[in-house]
Chains A and B, each alone.
Chain A
């Protein structure tokens, strides 16, 4: 059975690209969930759409648009955001919401101006695992490796700044620059994943495996590894199921990840009743 799956070069490339995207999203998403920046992450994953549509409109490769828009939006959101935990949250979420709606409206305008076919629009939004070239896999890898190295370099202070920003700032950790650097990396991860899963489904890979991992364990390193493994597993399973059925890959990936999340929460609730649940994050760190 697996022989037929790996026989086709397009499936092999889809699995390769899916793996790269799942690893990057699993690692970046773990910090996103820890920092409760799901709304910012969702917006970053959506702004790739106008980027790609705009790039196509002026005759560039969509990859430029994805990276350009996601990185710029990451910096804008980081700059406009007030310090963590301040009373300005309602203002921040209104800014993010307006940026998101405006970006998507621009994307729709670009598609209209291009007079492109509607399949192109659906592919930008919902992705296409088919027809991924060797070159695309290599370029995904070329961006993924430096992004993961950069995350590894800032991981320790970022963890500290995410869990207890006040103490981290007091001990000299550059909390604000770390926040900007992280949203930049999150933008890169979103741009990577958008090219494969489409703008609307990136968020599933960014939020579901990390949220599941954080329900299961409070240990940072173990959690990140678990999140990456879960992400890769659901991507592979989703691709395989989509290969054998007429239904879209995105549905399988999101449904499998959501099932894992619900199962993890159910098991933890049972564990908490018998007193064997994992300790909260704060205790594990101190």
Chain B
């Protein structure tokens, strides 16, 4: 980790600070998991589901705080439970947008309740907790929390690579995949559980309100740049990690810029840049229509 960073000449002073080392360690794991999961979230048109889970993350974290337990218990518990619930209730592991919207509008109302209970009970002891859940506090992670976040990030990455091939098949052509014996429904639910895990994980870095940017933007940029699935998956992961590193470095150089803003701004800029390249070159999957792209991908799976 440190060796990779040391390649860049200006990095050593940054990693001299323990909080920056922790942020880079956690951020790399978080961004890697987020980029890989995001690739499939965009491919399966489930960005709105990710949006909903980010609000569940807010409510879960504040519920844990209001109940006086570790924030991460509520965070991970709530997002994974709701993600699996959406998968089970929805047809073929996907839920209707209006149902998702209705549920998370209510979830947010509950989150506000927990926020008011927590802030009135703690009597200003930790009044910024709500803000750090919403907008992240990657510079405030302890060494233990950072190591745990990095480990979970690696687990997410491994999980995605284990189910990548059948998930790709069932995302592109559900009917054919089901006919070939791929467990489409179980895969959909399993994938949503991974999205829930990623949402909880990413909340620790950039916050519940901003995690959608790290989930959607690098992945959408990768979709613009290549139609090859595994190259795209690797590219999405790389872009997310790049956005994390650039964002952290930028917030170190300009202390008035919060790291969450710098990370999301870099990720969105990479998407805008990829979009510009894509339109300039006039090629790629999404703009040319889904059909030849699907054919291309199906070939890539079968070969």
Contacts and interface: CB of A to CB of B under 8 A. Distances in A.
A157 interface: no
Contacts of A160: none
B120 A42 contact: no
A133 interface: no
Nearest to A99: B268
A58 interface: no
B260 A200 contact: no
A254 B108 contact: yes
B100 A38 contact: yes
B182 interface: no
B29 interface: no
A93 interface: yes
A101 B268 contact: yes
Contact of B106 (A36, A98, A208): A208
Contacts of A42: 48, 51, 101
Interface of A: 33, 36, 38-39, 41-42, 46, 87-91, 93-98, 100-102, 104-106, 108-109, 112-113, 118, 121-122, 125-126, 200-201, 203-204, 207-208, 211, 246-248, 250-255, 257-258, 261
B97 A36 contact: yes
B108 A258 contact: no
11 contacts: A98-B267, A100-B51, A101-B212, A101-B268, A105-B260, A108-B209, A200-B108, A204-B105, A207-B105, A247-B113, A247-B117
A101 B216 CA distance: 9
Contacts of A248: 112-113, 115-116
Interface of B: 42-45, 47-48, 50-51, 97-98, 100-103, 105-106, 108-110, 112-113, 115-117, 120, 127-128, 130-131, 134-135, 209-217, 219-220, 223, 256-258, 260-261, 264-265, 267-268, 271, 286-287, 289-291
A87 B293 CA distance: 11
Q: Most B CB atoms within 10 A — which of A89, A90, A200, A250? A: A90
Contact of B112 (A88, A104, A251): A251
Contact of A94 (B117, B219, B260, B265): B219
A108 B263 CA distance: 12
A201 B109 contact: yes
Contacts of A252: 109
